Amino acid sequence: MRYMVMHYETEATENGAMPTPEQQQAIGTFMQEVASTGVLLGGEGVFPSSHGARVEFTGDDVRVIDGPFAEARELIAGFALLDVQTLAEAIEIARKFGQIVGTGRVDVRRVVEASDLQ
């Protein structure tokens, strides 16, 4: 089963704070550890929302709004795609990762597979 694990911005990261060297090292070690258990399929981190935009749809109306956006804690800061046997396994990885990156929240969501669509 695949899970998408998404973590969210904090006020600090939205204001452009980059991870400290210690944090970067801890994240690097953690990613290596996850990779060596064979569960990491991929993942990325994103810049603060001031570097991005939002496209909103209301009926036929489409609006493009440039960042930054309010409510840092509602903004995705990055994701990882995990290939694990159970939700509990994905949660354990999310828990560790969240503690290292210092996010306020990590969402763990199951990926819809081709076999789920039959």
Partner 1 sequence: MNEHDSTRHSEVSALEERLAAVWRAESPRLIARVARLVGDLSAAEDIAQDAFVAAIEKWRVEGLPPQPAAWLHRTARYLAIDRIRRQDAQQAKYRQLAARSDVVQPPEELPSDATLADDLLGLIFMACHPVLSADARSALTLKLVCGLTTEEVARALLTAQATVAQRIVRAKRTLRAANVTFELPEQTERARRLQAVREVIYLLFNEGYAATSGAQWTRNDLCHEAQRLARTLAALTPNDTETLGLLALLEIQASRLAARTDSSGNQVLLMDQDRDRWDHLLIRRGLALVDRIEHLGGSSGCYALQAAIAACHARATHAESTDWEQIAALYDALAQINPSPVVELNRALAVSRAYGPAEGLALLTPLMGQPVMAGYHLLPAAAADLSCLAGEHQHARDLFLEAAAAAPNQRERTALQRRAAECLNHIAITVPPRDLHQSDLRDELP
Contact residues for partner 1, defined by CB under 8 A: 32-33, 35-42, 81, 83, 85-89, 91-93, 96, 99, 113-115, 118
Measure the CA–CA gap between 34 and 97, rounded to whole angstroms: 10
Using the minimum distance from each CB to partner 1, give the nearer residue, 12 or 111: 111
Using the minimum distance from each CB to partner 1, give the nearer residue, 31 or 46: 31
- Least separation in angstroms between residue 79's CB and partner 1 is 13
Asked if residues 81 and 113 have their Cβ atoms less than 8 Å apart, the reply is no
- Least separation in angstroms between residue 113's CB and partner 1 is 7
- Least separation in angstroms between residue 63's CB and partner 1 is 31
Q: If we measure between CA atoms, which residue out of 109, 49, 45, 54 comes closest to residue 73?
A: 49
Using the minimum distance from each CB to partner 1, give the nearer residue, 51 or 95: 95
- Least separation in angstroms between residue 27's CB and partner 1 is 16
In eight-state DSSP terms, residue 103 is -
Measure the CA–CA gap between 4 and 114, rounded to whole angstroms: 16
Asked if residues 69 and 52 have their Cβ atoms less than 8 Å apart, the reply is no
